[in-house]
Amino acid sequence: MIYPIIELPCLLAVLVITLVPLQSECFSILPFSFSTAISKNTNRDGPLVSLMTLKQQNDNNDVNKETEEKCASSPLSPPTPYEEVTEGILPFDRKYSTHGIIGKNKFIVSREGEPKESELSNENLVKIVKCETNDLEVNTLVWKCLGYRFDCVTKTWTNEKCFPKWKEKHPTPPDLIGMTHVYTKEVDRVSLKSNQDLVRSVPVDWKQSLKEQLKPFGFKGYQYAELTPNKTRRAQCTNWLLYYRMELFGYTIEELKERRTIKRQEQLIEEERRKKEAEAKGEEIDEWKPPVKEVF
């Protein structure tokens, strides 16, 4: 009766072979033929061992079926040459703004070319405030709208098409989000200042456009308890992008200056009318307005 002595090590080998590969989500081994052979031998002298082996096979089949379904929904593919080069680049690296990976998810953005309508659609912008984009993607879209252009040959950002006043203060594209997520004064000072400059360029009439434009697309605003510097700056960048889309997109600098002159004249006429109405009623008008430092 040497069979039980031989079968015990074989059974342990089966258990090791069948259990170890399960540690990988998208990789599995089914030692069907080997475990079946052991099962046939144990049918004579070891029914308990046979049942254990059969149960192990059933468990493996269930796990592998679940694994195959999971992998089918997110198939693995070899990295592209671009991903191989940029995989190790982090936000602290100077090359991150030009070589970091963008546009791999559902958010529509590319470094090359002019801003596109598809990039500025409500369906796309709402993904920023829903945190369905990475920080570099948000920065890249704002940079393009500010006028920075990516040179595919030199792999650098140029500022020839930037809004004049913005270019004076920011000759290179600044981090408007704080991609390092380090908010100490030493690290975050430049990012915070750049974000504040962007916010100041939005007229007061557009301060509430975020909820007005994106509420139909599922954004109801942030709760105070869930606010973070990252979410706040995402909201501010998105608000600026909405303002840009409606007031600046598609116009030359000369056209924007002409529109601004006409708008200011209309505002002066309206203010004078309201002032006369208030004087007739014996009321006072609060004439203070938050300062706006436009990008052009």
Six-digit token string for 101: 């990976």
Mean predicted lDDT score pLDDT of the chain? 77
Residue 67 has pLDDT above 80, yes or no: no
Six-digit token string for 232: 């706040």
**Superfamily of domain 87-253 in the CATH hierarchy:** Protein of unknown function DUF1823 (1.10.418.90)
Do 37 and 22 touch, CB atoms closer than 8 A?
no
pLDDT class for 60, splitting at 50, 70, 90? very low
What pLDDT shows up at residue 47? 46
Place of tokens 């004439």: 287
Residue 90 has pLDDT above 80, yes or no: yes
Query: How far is it, in rounded angstroms, from Cα 98 to Cα 84?
Result: 15
Q: Is 77 exposed, middle or buried (0-12, 13-18, 19+ CB in 10 A)?
A: exposed
pLDDT class for 88, splitting at 50, 70, 90? low
pLDDT class for 87, splitting at 50, 70, 90? low
Candidate from 5-9, 72-76, 159-163, 199-203 with smallest mean pLDDT: 72-76
CA 237: distance to chain centroid? Answer: 13
Residue 11 has pLDDT above 50, yes or no: no
Instruction: Report the 10 Å Cβ neighbour count for 119.
Output: 21
Predicted confidence (pLDDT) per residue in 143-173, tens digit:
999 999 999 999 999 999 999 999 999 999 9
pLDDT class for 292, splitting at 50, 70, 90? confident
What pLDDT shows up at residue 173? 98
Candidate from 27-31, 115-119, 206-210 with smallest mean pLDDT: 27-31
What pLDDT shows up at residue 222? 92
What pLDDT shows up at residue 76? 33
Mean pLDDT computed over 242-266: 94
The answer for residues whose C-beta is within 8 angstroms of residue 136's C-beta and 6 or more apart is: 91, 96, 97, 100, 101, 102, 179
What pLDDT shows up at residue 71? 33
